Amino acid sequence: MAKLYRASEPDVLKPLLDHAALDSDSRERVMGHALGLLADLRAAQSKGWVNQFLQEYRLNSSEGVALLSLAEAFLRVPDPETADLLIADKLGDADWRAHAGKSNSKLVNSATWGLVVGRVLVGEGSTGPLRRLISRAGEPFVRQAVGAAMKMMGEIFVMGRTIDEAVKRMRRPENKGFTASFDMLGEAARTHADAQRYFQAYVGAVDAVGRDPAAGHSISVKLSALHPRYEVARWSECVPALTEMLEALAVQAASKGIALTVDAEESERLEMSLDIIGAVAGLPSLKGWDGFGMAVQAYGKRARPVIEWANGLDRVMNVRLVKGAYWDSEIKRTQVEGLADYPLFTRKAATDVSYLAVAKEMLAAENIRPAFASHNALTVATIMEWAGNSRDFEFQRLHGMGDGLYERLVQENGYHCRVYAPVGGHRDLLAYLVRRLLENGANSSFVHQLADERLTEAEILADPVAKIAAVGGKRHPSIPLPVDLFGAGGHRNSAGLDLSDVGTLKATVAAVNAPLPQAGGAGGGLALSSSATAGDERAAAAASVAASGERVPTPSPSRLREGDAVVAAITRAHAAFPGWSTTPVDERAACLERLADLLEKHRDELMAICVQEAFKTIADAIGEVREAADFCRYYAQQARLNLHPIELPGPTGERNTLHIEGRGVWATIAPWNFPLAIFLGQTVAALVTGNTVVAKPAPQTPRIAARAVELTHEAGVPVDALVLVTGGPEVGAALTADVRIQGVAFTGSTATSRKIARSLLDDETRPIVPLIAETGGINAMIVDSTALPEQVVADVIASSFRSAGQRCSALRLLLVQEDIADGVIEMLSGAMETLRIGRPGDPATDVGPVIDQAAYDRLMAYRESVKAKTVKTLDAPADGLFVPPTLVRIGAIEDLSQEWFGPILHVATWEAGKLSETIARVNAKGYGLTMGLHSRIARAADVIEAEAAVGNLYINRSMIGAVVGSQPFGGEGLSGTGPKAGGPRYLYRFCAERAVSVDTTSAGGNATLLSLDEGGI
């Protein structure tokens, strides 16, 4: 099974194509059945409100998107002011009049006229005629109308607000002959309290359904709803806990005589879920109960082996086959993490092929009772063909979708069909509703195609096997492999590690915790100051911290001979400049590309140093190596594109050329929080532009820098073109004070950058040289009442506490609209309780130690000073440099006056309708690095984009993890000078521009003119 996880699409599909294919006679019968089903579906369209809605408001139209966006957020907005803004935002720009009276459904037409009125109310000026006519009703009228419409949509897709209501609704005449699988809609839990609440909801649902077992209804369970950290890294914690809870529910269901099915989720959770399901399936107490089941997603490349696994269990298993519900998020995750290939198919037709092949396998399996969830007439007809006269299986459909497909099959032909029925309050479940609509109404889905009157029956019922065979099973051309994410003209994406694969995780853990080799001297021509010894001592001490969590003080660097070492290093780099600067740019770029390859080749070693010297968690260490490789490849690509001489226009008889050259010797001064990525990013940018470099790492992280320099030399950069010096502030001061330094690239504190700037100007005889400074910030995230709290909390946790809060971009100030602040803070506090503080080499660790004793003392003293304002904090190991994640409630934005570089988050509130004022108050602090916004109001995003004075703005996502080439990083104001690292303008700052103009006529005539056909004598 593991070998298929990231296998190539054609290889996985090849055996499936033969298994899913129909012979000509079968194909003819299947088409006959499918045409009949298609007719039933189309007949139902004229009756079904949902089908009419999808037909009128397609999801690729502005109106369809507006309605879904409104539905997703409206009912959770508590304050009228924001509700009005949301309505205006979603209804204001769409053309609702174009849809008025066009539908066959009176309900859809009625809703459309309501939207037309709403559009006039929010879109017309105050003097509009309809506005004047109902001015007394105004916004409350619109809010009530929209609220009623949203609740109506909720009722269409949610079976009931409670399990009792849902059971009662299944007794209605339209559901005659159907059974239900009730899902209590336990979305992924963020807190242990969430998980316990969902568990009790499942217990209640089993009890309610179990009162009438003869009705045949069942319960569906999401494991992610029962544990807030259902992750491979927490396997030893979550798998036993989930096994215990699932066992309790299964025993309860067995005692009631009803069935229980475990839903399928993201691919990285598959092996965990199989462990849990397998353990419960083997319980002696459940022998003889045939109601236990699981769902399998056909879009996953491992679907067929999972069926084989289920068939091999020592019991009958109910297996629900679905197409899959997390396709877009899994595609993105694979790309972001730089994994080898996708865990799922990239073409809809490929998923259909997999579905058919797996369905055939299920029908033949001895220990599987199949259930086929589909709204696709061709899929249903094919399964009927393969099953023959058998009715020992069931079909399934989503509540609110596929009306007309199964009614005749159930009521006239004896087939069984179960409705997957969501249960819960509309306010909480409309986000789920929208996701389901998007999945089932996507352009490539059967539901969407059915609503498209332009498509013929043949096109709708086209054979997926033939489609995939025609393209050789190849990936969708618009979905490149992650390595090719940046296109043919872009840089190669760095390779990541798939830590959801247990084998990879175990190997990685062993590698990063292995003892580091003894640090050598200044091999490879490295010029180390006398403080190198102190750095090596700290590396050994750091390994001790990584292993045991003991607190280790940072050694003080020796001051002896540091000035001499810096002078010698600059002398070497200065002498090497003429040779390196005249090296062709393509050769310099090739060195960077070789370095990127070497970084990936030595990834385990580099990660181990990052973990043991810089106390990075395993996930952060992977990111460190990947970002360093990305910098190398991106700057190499940019240099090839932009650093060649440029011919400029001018009068005839004249040649004008712009040359881009290196400036001389650059000093690059890097921080400890990104000791490889930023250290190399600054350095290779200076190198590829033709400069030589004296590079100084932070005194806390000399070892990773030394290894990076060794690999850079191995990649072909001359040993004197890049020289390493190590030490503390004295070394940095000596470096920047030397008049031979022609530029400085610095990442660190604002105070240090000011000192560097002054030192570059102190000597009036010294040339004015560029300073590229990237510093920190009081980074704020603004959250309004339309935001989804679960998403907000996940992004806040990552932005504030990942890397122990030791990122320049980390969230320091959370600003929540006061109407929802209490709920968000409560959920955030609960999510903080799930964080694990510990050794960085443990894959379960979320928050490791801070960098050194000085940082620890400073942060702990501050925590003590704000103890009275602390909303939430955690216990941390007593021994070690562990600063507990802490949430501090402050009265106003102005109360936070400086950056606290650690896992400390401040929270304040803001008033509805004062977004611009809130942005201005954050801007007034003078920092301008990162800012975030969580809102479903598009115009709020427009406002913050126009008014936020920050280098990097993040909307509806976390505020960390800028990607080279996609999100160039750097601030303004007190947060840096620019240009942005990892961006298309970064290299120019390292260069000198020289224009050369040559009069070509001075040599005796204008050859250009003489070559023309016209003119002359």
- Token pair for residue 381? 């007809």
Catalytic residue selected from 238, 417, 808, 991: 808
Cα 220 to Cα 202: distance, rounded to the nearest angstrom: 9
Cα 431 to Cα 399: distance, rounded to the nearest angstrom: 16
Closest CA relative to residue 669, chosen from 739, 736, 759: 736
- Please check whether residue 447 is in contact with residue 52, taking contact to mean a CB–CB distance below 8 angstroms: no
Read off φ and ψ for residue 372, nearest 5 degrees. Answer: -115, 110
Q: Rounded to a whole number, what is the distance in angstroms from the first to the last CA of the chain?
A: 84
Q: Which residues contact 379 (CB under 8 A, 6 or more apart)?
A: 352, 355, 356, 359, 372, 446
Ramachandran sector of residue 62 (left: φ over 0; alpha: ψ -120 to 50; beta: rest):
alpha
Read off φ and ψ for residue 697, nearest 5 degrees. Answer: -80, 175
Encode 890-927: b = buried (16+ Cβ within 10 Å), e = exposed: eeebeebeebbbbbbbbbbbbebeebeebbebbbebeb
- Among all chains, which residue has been given the structure tokens 């899913």? 20
DSSP label at residue 53: H
Cα 928 to Cα 424: distance, rounded to the nearest angstrom: 43
Closest CA relative to residue 808, chosen from 865, 758, 753, 755: 753
Q: Which residues contact 898 (CB under 8 A, 6 or more apart)?
A: 778
Tell me, letter by letter, the H, E, C secondary structure of 837-854: ECCCCCCCCCECCCCCHH
Closest CA relative to residue 371, chosen from 306, 313, 318: 318
Ramachandran sector of residue 46 (left: φ over 0; alpha: ψ -120 to 50; beta: rest):
alpha
DSSP letters, 451-468, are H-TTS-HHHHT--HHHHH
Cα 884 to Cα 848: distance, rounded to the nearest angstrom: 9
Query: Does 991 qualify as catalytic in the annotation?
Result: no
Q: How far is CA 436 from the centre of its chain?
A: 20
173, exposed or middle or buried, with CB in 10 Å at 0-12, 13-18, 19+?
exposed
DSSP letters, 1000-1013, are GGGGTS-HHHHTSS
- Please check whether residue 524 is in contact with residue 719, taking contact to mean a CB–CB distance below 8 angstroms: yes
Cα 192 to Cα 228: distance, rounded to the nearest angstrom: 6
For the chain, the residue count is 1017
Query: Does 808 qualify as catalytic in the annotation?
Result: yes
Q: How far is CA 740 from the centre of its chain?
A: 44
- Count the alpha carbons within 13 Å of 261 in the hemisphere toward its beta carbon: 28
Q: At what angle do helices 138-157 and 49-56 cross, to 10 degrees?
A: 120
Q: Which residues contact 891 (CB under 8 A, 6 or more apart)?
A: 908
Q: Which residues contact 14 (CB under 8 A, 6 or more apart)?
A: 473
Catalytic residue selected from 774, 790, 899, 991: 774
- Please check whether residue 195 is in contact with residue 226, taking contact to mean a CB–CB distance below 8 angstroms: yes
Locate the DSSP E strands across 118-217: 179-183
- Among all chains, which residue has been given the structure tokens 């269901």? 253
Read off φ and ψ for residue 611, nearest 5 degrees. Answer: -70, -45
Write the single-letter amino acid at 870.
T
Cα 691 to Cα 661: distance, rounded to the nearest angstrom: 8
How many Å is the Cα radius of gyration of the chain?
32
Residues labelled catalytic: 774, 808
